[in-house]
Amino acid sequence: MISKQIIKKLGSLKLAVVLISVISCVLIAATLVEAKYSTEMAVNLIYGSWWFSSLLFLLSLNVISSALVRYPWRRSQYGFLMTHSGIVIILVGAIVGLLGGREGYITLSENGAAVDSLTTGREVLQIGRSGEKSYLRVPLNLDRIKKSTAPIRISSESILPPETLQASIVSRYAHTEDRTVVSQGESGFNPALEISIRPPSADEVDDIREWMVSNDPERQILQMGPLFIRLMKAETEERLQTLLNPPAVSETGGLGKLNFKVEGVPFELNVHQWLGKEMKSEDGKITIALKEYFADFRMAEEEGKPVSASDQPNNPAIRYEVSWGGEAEPKTAVGFAFADYPDLAMMHVEGAGEKAVEVLYDFDRSMMDVGIFAENSVVFLIAGPGEQLHYVARRPGEERHSGPVELGKILPLEGWKMNPGLSVVQYLQNAEVRQVVTPIPLEEDSGFSRPALELQLTGGGHSTNVVIQWNRPFEVMAGADPENRVPVTLLYTDERIPLGFKVQLLKFNMPTFEGTQMPASYESLIRVTDQETGEALERKVWMNHPMSYGGYRISQSGYSQGMGAARSTLQLLADPGSWLKWLGSILLMLGITVMYFWNPDKKKSSEANSNKETDQTTA
């Protein structure tokens, strides 16, 4: 009796009206969120939430109960039973899709690299040992993080012992920025200058302040329009005089020199003089060839070979070959020498030890008539030796002039048409540079944000708070034993799901309506390759014309055009409940058809009435 009452209440029409009304309001809200913000936000806040799945489950119970209340069913109720069964199957398919489905996006560049994983838009924290492929992926509950007043501990025992590292989430910041903190170190000579730039004509504008650090290639040069400012250091008086009065480019060629030691034998080669040539020792046993010069060394990602990104000496490098030892015991060394990174050893030695050849690339950047400095206004700030500060300045076509620098006083560049109002505010002889991540307000309609997580890391009896930014790996040394610590990498990023196949964009096409620039369609010709078999097929995907592969439906979602290459965004959807939705829809339509066109009780009643009339007539 009690069970019948419960079923009757669960199957009541009032409950059905309430549930349908609530779900309708939720769907309207989800549509507005998706239109104003993004599909990812609508999925995270509504469609993928536990309470939305609970609403669908309650509606399923209501439909099932409304059918059970009428048990045992008559033949006239078969259509009703089929209709309600179809609704239940559709709802079950929706719940299965929400709980077990996978949806995300991939962005492809025309003729770019293939992509083998999709981005879901859900934020995760990855924790794992550096250099290993296995890692722990922790989904982040942003609402819980926002409301929590205490750190949320992450259970990482499955990949790291508790005594190695324990991590807890303290807070999440919607937007952050990197700020450079420069402080005085204990020993050594790493000069750093805080400079101020304020043109005399800009009375109502605040001055621009920047730190320049001599041992940091990214902070050695500061460009302000047509003005280049470079920080140099002079450890000795001799070096200072060389920087104040550098040799002419005609004497050096402007490409620097290479210093070799081949099994202890020294050689000095002017790059301009020996580039593309072979230099032999006096006894003919040692040969050195400077094969190629790269003004701005880079490794091309697609070709996998070295190239020069520009003609400016931003990262000078030389490819060289050394051979010695004679025909009986031939020895060779092939490698690259970098002016800005002397400790970067890229050398392959055969027939001898790794230390048989030593190379140092001395690229004198003090010359103002080389590369980018030749056609622009240049100011060299020279720190050292000791507390001395000097400057050397030159405009194109004019003679250079130099002098001492006094802290807080603007450099005497009055003759310059564009006087930068340059001064040195602070001088540190041995600077220590740290990057600090600081939360800042997110500007409205900025279109860009750099979120970050603040974590509390505990291990080895110590605890510290760190801030890791979006998509920037953060490495820490973890472990209780200082001699056996292991490197651990933490990464705050999008959840990525492996596909089992690779997708590459071959061609993107955007036809327009005739006589206009309005896009008529977006078309992507893609190549899909199975990662196990290597089999590939090419298909064209365009608006409302998806393709299916590997359990995913691949649809055209959007595009962007920039830097000369088209970028196409594809949506990938895997819905394990789709067949239930189809089955439920077919059953629903059949039930409606049966309800309207087949009523066995009405036919039976008509036959009974006809027999009764026949009996009365006979009587």
Query: pLDDT (tens digit, 9 = 90+) per residue, 474-505?
Result: 888 877 666 777 888 889 998 888 898 999 99
Taking only the tens place, the pLDDT of each residue in 202-229 is 555 567 888 998 888 778 888 877 788 8
Longest dimension (CA), the chain: 143
φ, ψ (nearest 5 deg) of residue 589: -65, -40
| Lowest mean pLDDT across 316-320, 408-412, 512-516 | 512-516
Question: Which DSSP letter does residue 545 get?
Answer: B
**How far apart are the C-alpha atoms of 570 and 118, rounded to whole Å?**
10
pLDDT attached to residue 71: 80
Instruction: Give φ, ψ of 77 to 5 degrees.
Output: -100, 5
Cis? peptide before 162, omega within 30° of 0: no
Phi and psi torsions of 47, nearest 5° = -60, -35
Would you state the pLDDT for residue 154?
78
For the CA atoms of the chain, what is the radius of gyration? 37
Name residue 485's amino acid: R
The angle, 0 to 180 degrees and rounded to 10, between the axes of the packed helices 2-10 and 50-68 is: 120
Cα separation, 15 vs 9, whole angstroms:
8
Name the DSSP letter for residue 44: I
pLDDT value at 583 more than 70: yes
- pLDDT top residue among 193 and 597: 193
Task: Give the pLDDT confidence of 246-271 residue by residue, as tens digits.
Answer: 766 555 566 888 889 999 899 989 88
pLDDT given at position 424: 93
pLDDT of residue 2: 61
Residue 328 has a pLDDT of 81
Tell me: pLDDT of 604 over 60.
no
In angstroms, the CA 214 to CA 52 distance is 58
Contact 322, 332 (CB under 8 A): yes
- Residue 290 confidence class, pLDDT cut points 50, 70, 90: very high
234 pLDDT more than 90: no
Rounded to 10 degrees, the C-alpha dihedral 552/553/558/562 comes to: 50
Give the contacts of 500 (CB within 8 A, at least 6 positions apart): 116, 530, 531, 532, 550
CB 60 within 8 A of CB 88: yes
